[in-house]
Amino acid sequence: MKIRVRYIILALLILIPSAVNLYTPLYNRDIPELFGLPFFYWFQMVWLVACSGFYLSFSFLANRGTK
């Protein structure tokens, strides 16, 4: 993989979760509910797992070229 493309992918893997977390109107609401939990709470729980995937992918791609 070309180094420039790799850096772009790495930047996106960090910027996407950050942008979603900073865009509060996306998840600042009560409906829809899931198992009685307002959207705000269950979105945060789901997004925590998704962000972990982004950061694990970032770590894997960042360390792949150093070995």
Beta bridge partners of 37: 34
* Exposure class string for 41-65: b at 16+ Cβ within 10 A, else e: ebbeeebeeeeeebeeebeeeeeee
Mean pLDDT, the chain, integer: 84
Band the pLDDT of 61: cuts 50, 70, 90.
confident
Mean per-residue pLDDT, 47-66: 85
Radius of gyration of the chain (CA): 15
Could you tell me the pTM of the whole model?
0.70
